[in-house]
Amino acid sequence: MGGGLLVAGTTSDAGKSVVTAGICRWLARRGVRVAPFKGQNMSLNSFVTREGAEIGRAQAMQAQAARVEPTALMNPVLLKPGSDRSSQVVLLGKPVGELSARGFFGERAPGAQDPSPVPGGRQRLFEPVVACLEELRRTHDAVICEGAGSPAEINLRRTDIVNMGIARAAHLPVVVVGDIDRGGVFAQFFGTTALLAPEDQELVAGYLVNKFRGDVTLLEPGLEMLRGLTGRRTLGVLPYASGLGIDEEDGLRVSLRGAVREAPVAPPVGDDVLRVAVCAVPLMSNFTDVDALAAEPGVLVRFVDRPAELADADLVVVPGTRGTVRALAWLRERGLADALVRRAAEGRPVLGVCGGFQVLGERIEDEVESRAGTVAGLGLLPVRVRFAREKTLARPVGEALGERVEGYEIHHGVAEVGGGTAFLDGCRVGSVWGTHWHGSLESDGFRRAFLREVAEAAGRRFVPAPDTCFGALREEQLDRLGDLIEEHADTDALLRLIEHGPPAGLPFVPPGAPASPTPLPTDGAGRAGRTDRADEAVPAPRQAAAPSAPPAPPGPRAPQAAPSAEHPRERGVQADPVARAATDGAPRQSTTRERGTS
């Protein structure tokens, strides 16, 4: 059984995905067979593996960092929000239904009817999640797991399958990442640890500071004080690195758009730049499609939500969405629909991708996603869309504009194309293009040919750079993540944790988790794990024993010797995969939108 490590975070967006990817690339460069893993992911940015399974794009990116092919094992549960209160649940790469947040956590509002296909919500997903981790550990030297949100979400600990629940089941050491750029990182580290049950605290082996700016020697006294308070070392201080970007779960600071925006970019090859406006539709999905455009010198990408912001755009992109009918209504409410119709009439370029392609058609019949029935589209393309209950998941390869193209498809809508010029699986009418294919613009030759068409239609003297290679740029980013770990983290300590597991004797930091119901089973009877103690399977969270005298308030202590990481690693757990399980859905849709130019 291979080694493992869980990268947790003090908050969402603390840097878990970056650190996980960086550790994977660092290990891969050492010749270690490493794989990423995230038991449960909530994201509208997803990817299709070669076997036709849907997983989060962040895990696909981490697989690339590890130099392995992504599989459904790396992200067994994917939640795709469809509203503020429900999500589609994708289990082992296939959708299994919709479930409300209450249903996911095994609760129901009084009198509520929850369409859960399997009673029990998230608890029924625990075995397949652990089984997937087991399989990866059997076939790899190391598995680097990414947590979600914070491990100290005490309201969710009972049914946790992605943070301390999975760490305790597989006896994984945990490194907690904190974003110092937000401020308060010492309180974040201490508070996160102090809110965990004693059995969970035994697995928290150290901390990593992320996004540090300035003189690290000024930080060191605080790190020593933190070590005195918690008995745990800080295993690295990662500097703030501008232009670092990866495929994220739910924000808009994505991939190479961030690199182009923050780092110096070569000037355009031609006389003009090309301005791209992306309509920030609700439940926007796979907006990573425009990363390849932003990687081109002279292409400026921005997200917009007002008609006036389309005025100077040479190309408008209507991206994918998890709510096609809702996005269409939003475009009409904002006045963007009328602006798109005027653009098409004037011969100005518009590109629709997936849900955006469906919006540009004549009619949408939806009894699956929105259950809105028949809705009129914008009528810019001769396309009629009918939503099917079975989701299309594919990795197509084809040709367009004289160039080879690869992409991936994730959609319920089935398009009937009734005219126009063929364009991938969709069509083109004048300067309006539509396709279901995500990722097509990552094909370098096709992207250049498409941008030449756009520039001509827009009347711009823009020339695509002849040598921009999107794949090489992405590899360069992943190597930078590996460099961050190799140069600024205690890699010897990380290796000891991965190989030998949590160090023995880590002290308890009071007060611990508040009393709560028994969490998910982590003993042999629960088929989710075991411990070293035959007389005591992992117990429910408990409070520390009351001291005989009131304890002194926590305060700095003299630095202690670092706990030894030389401790035999607990072997993995045995669990049979479950073909189908319950569904999930606590949506976490980002409310922020970047307005800067990429």
Q: Name the residue among 48, 76, 285, 248 with its Cα closest to residue 161.
A: 76
| Tokens linked to 291 | 């990363």
4 φ, ψ (degrees, to nearest 5): -160, 165
Burial 30-55 (b: 16+ CB within 10 A, else e): eebebbbbbbbbbbbbbbbbeeebbb
Q: Name the residue among 169, 189, 140, 174 with its Cα closest to residue 7.
A: 174
Q: Which residues contact 64 (CB under 8 A, 6 or more apart)?
A: 70, 474, 475, 478
What's the rounded Cα separation, in Å, for the pair 312 and 275? 7
Burial 132-155 (b: 16+ CB within 10 A, else e): bbbbbbeebbbbbbbbbbbbbeee
On the 0-12 / 13-18 / 19+ scale of CB atoms within 10 A, 515 is exposed
Tokens 């006045």 identify what position? 335
The amino acid at 5:
L
Which listed residue (24, 132, 145, 354) is catalytic?
A: 354
SS3 357: helix
SS3 526: helix
On the 0-12 / 13-18 / 19+ scale of CB atoms within 10 A, 348 is buried
Q: How far apart, in Å, are the Cα atoms of 319 and each of 254, 289, 359? A: 14, 8, 10
What's the rounded Cα separation, in Å, for the pair 468 and 472? 8
What's the rounded Cα separation, in Å, for the pair 348 and 334? 20
| Tokens linked to 362 | 């004549």
**Is 279 designated active site?**
no
**Is 500 designated active site?**
no
Strand partners, 302: 277
| Tokens linked to 317 | 């992109």
Which listed residue (438, 488, 500, 567) is catalytic?
A: 438
- Helix residue ranges per DSSP H, 30-155: 57-66, 101-104, 126-139
- Reported for 330-334, long-range contacts at CB under 8 A and 24+ positions apart, including other chains, are 330/281, 330/282, 331/279, 331/281, 331/359, 331/378, 334/305, 334/306, 334/307
Q: Name the residue among 34, 42, 73 with its Cα closest to residue 58.
A: 42
Q: Where are the extended beta strands (E) located within 240-362?
A: 274-279, 284-285, 299-304, 315-318, 320-321, 350-353
Residue-by-residue DSSP string for 76-111:
SEEEEE-SSSEEEEEETTEEEEEEEHHHHTT---TT
Strand partners, 330: none
What's the rounded Cα separation, in Å, for the pair 377 and 394? 25
Cis peptide bond prior to 511, omega within 30° of 0: yes
175, 7 contact by CB (below 8 A): yes
Question: Active-site residue numbers?
Answer: 354, 438
